[in-house]
């Protein structure tokens, strides 16, 4: 299907509510857990439930979508079940109760984004450079949530986060029913088992490097807000710092067509990994220097925005035809899933026993290792425009 502007709002609306939920969860859910007296290890475990499910669930949902050819129906069912299971957060503040509720909710919630990414790129067809402009609505949703809640939680109880999450889940469900259908085009690799594609050295290198980028971000998503609050920053200031990073991310999404005319996808990724090394070094060692902390957040434009757009495009290049959904699902599982789990779980003991500076130095090291893999195996990859 060629891009039709009348349908852009449908996909954009889904991205908006999906990442508004992320903007609620990533910066503030750890503060809610802290408010109900969980320790650092418990917070790290509970915050790692989502990436655990992003590691396990998308492959099942991607297989189901490719097998049945009903990609959008799977997205809609998953959105409905995620909203229903989220209701459990209102009924328990116990560790194992929340572990169960978050696990169930994340199992369904993690299913949809790889399928929506595949749908968006199929919908755009030869206009895939416009992906960033649609995806930027997700970043806008993140900013609205993170800023609005940052100010709100300076004056109201953090427990109100539960109701915000429910409202956002309903928004996700409503827009899941609006996404336009797309036709999955046949490709000569359709008859191949998907593992033949996965085992290509360049694909394995891409997944390995992106896994390390997610590992690097694990401590950031788990402890960044707590880290800032403990260093004297108000919750509204925390919201602004998160929003600054995502605002720069939006700018990069809009700039992607221009960047792709001048640089290759591997070049964009290599710069992103280099900036990750710099960014997490600054966060770990210069938290009290506002100017350097602001610079670190500006670098989010590259460590997530440019990184994500380029990585998704490379996955779409390697996985064609009926393998599109499972390709994006594997990417999500291995990178944001497994990488997020490793980074999130390691952040607990690093924070507790080695300190924040050592924890973010670990993030910088993971980014450096990812850069090494990119230079070794992927710098020569060429993707037809």
Torsion of CA 112, 41, 222, 18, to 10 degrees: 20
Identify the pLDDT of residue 191: 59
For the chain, what percent of residues have pLDDT higher than 90?
Answer: 49
The sign of the torsion formed by the CA atoms of 118, 123, 128, 133 equals: negative
Boundaries of every domain in the chain: 7-378
Determine which of 7-11, 23-27, 215-219, 248-252 has the lowest per-residue pLDDT on average. Answer: 7-11
Identify the pLDDT of residue 333: 85
pLDDT tens per residue across span 89-143: 999 999 999 999 999 999 998 878 877 877 777 777 666 667 778 888 988 998 8
Confidence band, pLDDT 50/70/90 cuts, at residue 15: very high
Determine which of 29-33, 296-300, 367-371 has the lowest per-residue pLDDT on average. Answer: 29-33
The pTM (predicted TM-score) of the whole model is 0.77
Identify the pLDDT of residue 61: 80
Q: How far apart are CA 144 and CA 18, in angstroms?
A: 12
Question: How many other CB atoms sit within 10 Å of the CB of residue 195?
Answer: 8
Confidence band, pLDDT 50/70/90 cuts, at residue 1: very low
Identify the pLDDT of residue 97: 95
63, two tokens: 């297989």
Q: How far apart are CA 181 and CA 123, in angstroms?
A: 8
Question: How many other CB atoms sit within 10 Å of the CB of residue 159?
Answer: 12
Evaluate if residue 166 carries a pLDDT over 50: yes
Q: Please, what CATH class does the domain formed by 7-378 belong to?
A: mainly alpha
Rg for the chain (alpha carbons), in Å?
19
Top pLDDT among 151 and 99 is at 99
């Amino acid at each position: 299907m060629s891009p039709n502007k009348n349908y852009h709002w449908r996909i954009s609306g889904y991205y908006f509510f999906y990442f508004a939920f992320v903007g609620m969860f990533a910066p503030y859910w750890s503060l809610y857990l802290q408010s109900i007296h969980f320790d650092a290890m418990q917070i790290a475990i509970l915050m790692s439930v989502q990436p655990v499910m992003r590691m396990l669930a998308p492959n099942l949902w991607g297989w189901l979508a490719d097998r049945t050819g009903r990609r959008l129906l799977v997205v809609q069912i998953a959105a409905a079940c995620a909203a229903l299971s989220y209701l459990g957060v209102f009924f328990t503040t116990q560790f194992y109760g929340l572990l169960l509720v978050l696990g169930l909710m994340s199992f369904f919630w993690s299913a949809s984004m790889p399928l929506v990414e595949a749908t968006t790129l199929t919908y755009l067809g030869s206009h895939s450079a416009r992906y960033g402009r649609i995806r930027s609505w997700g970043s806008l949703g993140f900013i609205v949530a993170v800023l609005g809640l940052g100010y709100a939680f300076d004056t109201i109880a953090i427990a109100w986060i539960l109701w915000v999450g429910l409202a956002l889940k309903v928004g996700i469900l409503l827009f899941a029913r609006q996404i336009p259908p797309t036709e999955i085009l046949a490709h000569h690799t359709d008859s191949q088992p998907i593992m033949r594609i996965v085992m290509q050295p360049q694909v394995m290198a891409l997944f390995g490097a992106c896994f390390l980028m997610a590992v690097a971000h694990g401590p950031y998503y788990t402890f960044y807000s707590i880290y800032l609050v403990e260093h004297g920053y108000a919750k509204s200031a925390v919201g602004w710092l998160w929003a600054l990073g995502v605002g720069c991310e939006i700018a990069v999404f809009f700039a992607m067509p221009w960047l792709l005319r001048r640089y290759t996808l591997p070049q964009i990724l290599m710069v992103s990994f280099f900036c990750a090394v710099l960014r997490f070094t600054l966060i770990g060692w210069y938290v009290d220097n506002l100017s350097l902390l602001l610079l670190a957040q500006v670098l989010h434009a590259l460590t997530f925005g440019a990184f994500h757009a380029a990585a998704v495009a490379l996955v779409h290049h390697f996985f064609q035809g009926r393998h599109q959904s499972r390709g994006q699902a594997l990417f999500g599982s291995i990178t944001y899933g497994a990488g997020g789990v490793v980074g999130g779980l390691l952040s607990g003991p690093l924070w507790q026993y080695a300190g924040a500076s050592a924890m973010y130095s670990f993030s910088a090291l993971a980014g450096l290792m990812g850069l090494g893999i990119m230079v070794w195996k992927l710098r020569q990859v060429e993707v037809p425009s």
